[in-house]
Structure 1
Amino acid sequence: MENLNCNKKIILVCHCFLNCKSKVENFNEYNKNFEEKKKNLIMNLIKNDIGIIQLPCPEMKIYGCRRWGHVKEQFDTPHFRDMSREMLNPVLNEIRDYSKNGFNIIGILGVNGSPSCGVNLTCSGKWYGEFSHNHNLNDMLASLEMVEESGVFIEEIKGLLEENNLNIPIVGVDTSNIDNIHQILDI
């Protein structure tokens, strides 16, 4: 009988990497090429017998499907950070148990651009307040930008890993590097 645990590699992925339906609804953008490349990467993980753990989505859990797009500054609150850690504690326990039992956590895949799960790039801006009577709406929209920072959820993951002496690479996936993820993580 074949041992199911012969390859003891596991990867953690941000929720929307496996479930794009959890993302904020974007009314005019669907990157079919990127979605196909994600599917190919996932199939490559499966073919190589790498276990996949899907992280919870803090935006979905806190705000649900019918939410507006946010920026990092809106999530940079004590409540959002506390809720993120609360969601991550069961995952942290899994990671520690797998590690204790000889499994290799090869990495965590984040999604660059996300105010929660961006690793190297997150959405930032002066995005707040009531829109219906906002005379500065155009200025607010103009303030939106991608900055070279991690999203709030990833910052909390990094903190928990450091606090628990766990050295796991965290890689931000986007259209510019999805073809190279298998090399980056040595899959």
Structure 2
Amino acid sequence: MNRSKKVIFISHCILNQNTVVKPLARAKGAYTSIIKKILDSGIGIHQLPCPEYLFLGLDRKPMSKEEYDSYEYRKICREIVLMNIQIIKEYINKEYKIVGIVGIHCSPTCSISGQTGILMEELLKLLDDEKIDIRTFEILTNYIEDGEKQDILSKFDDFLR
């Protein structure tokens, strides 16, 4: 079977809502509608590690970007970013298409627009430093896997094209 040579980088919790702070989970396990769209498009998935989980574990309380923003937390985020930049460069060097990076709006870690989350801030800065241009998409805070989601899914379809 031929490879599509297409890969998308996604925030950890899109595939694993079990690592989300307890009151903020919006799906039983994964955002299956989002994942199905990626898989149906023949795109490989690269899941970014969750620095919040690595830093404080499953029983952490909801925290703001300001509360997470410490030397120790940024160090974890930078380590994740450095590893993933090497992965991105390898894909690019082997002529793969990086379809994009998918974040979570208003996340202290993975928000891309507005107040950028710490992981995405570090990732986008290093991509810019490396002169690597990758499109981004965010899952909005009102997205719930079992709720009405046609608008976001049609926008995500457009993003995947």
TM-score for the superposition, normalised by structure 1: 0.74
**In the alignment, structure 1 residue 56 sits paired with structure 2 residue 49:** yes
Deviation for aligned residue 1:181 = 1.2
Q: Percent identity?
A: 29
SS of 1:110's partner is strand
The answer on whether the counterparts of 1:14 and 1:56 sit within 8 Å (CA) in structure 2 is yes
Over the aligned positions, Cα root-mean-square deviation in angstroms equals: 2.0
Computing the radius of gyration over CA atoms, which structure comes out larger, 1 or 2?
1
Deviation by residue 1:37-81 (Cα, 9 ceiling, x = unmatched): 931221121122101000010000011001111001112223222
Deviation by residue 1:125-162 (Cα, 9 ceiling, x = unmatched): xxxxxxxxxxxxxxxxxxxxxxx211111101111111
TM-score for the superposition, normalised by structure 2: 0.86
SS of 2:100's partner is strand
Which 5+ residue runs of structure 2 have no aligned equivalent?
A: 144-148
The ranges of structure 1 where at least 4 consecutive aligned residues each deviate by more than 3 angstroms after the TM superposition are: 29-32
**In the alignment, structure 1 residue 9 sits paired with structure 2 residue 6:** yes
Specify the alignment match of 2:128 in structure 1: 162
Distance in 1, Cα, partners of 2:74 & 2:13 = 19
Deviation for aligned residue 1:109 = 0.3
**In the alignment, structure 1 residue 153 sits paired with structure 2 residue 146:** no
Please, which moves more after superposition, 50-59 or 165-174? 165-174
Specify the alignment match of 1:24 in structure 2: 21
1:51–1:59 distance in 2 versus 1, CA, 3 Å: same
**In the alignment, structure 1 residue 65 sits paired with structure 2 residue 58:** yes
The answer on whether the counterparts of 2:8 and 2:46 sit within 8 Å (CA) in structure 1 is yes
1:156–1:98 distance in 2 versus 1, CA, 3 Å: same
Which 5+ residue runs of structure 1 have no aligned equivalent?
A: 121-147
Specify the alignment match of 1:99 in structure 2: 92
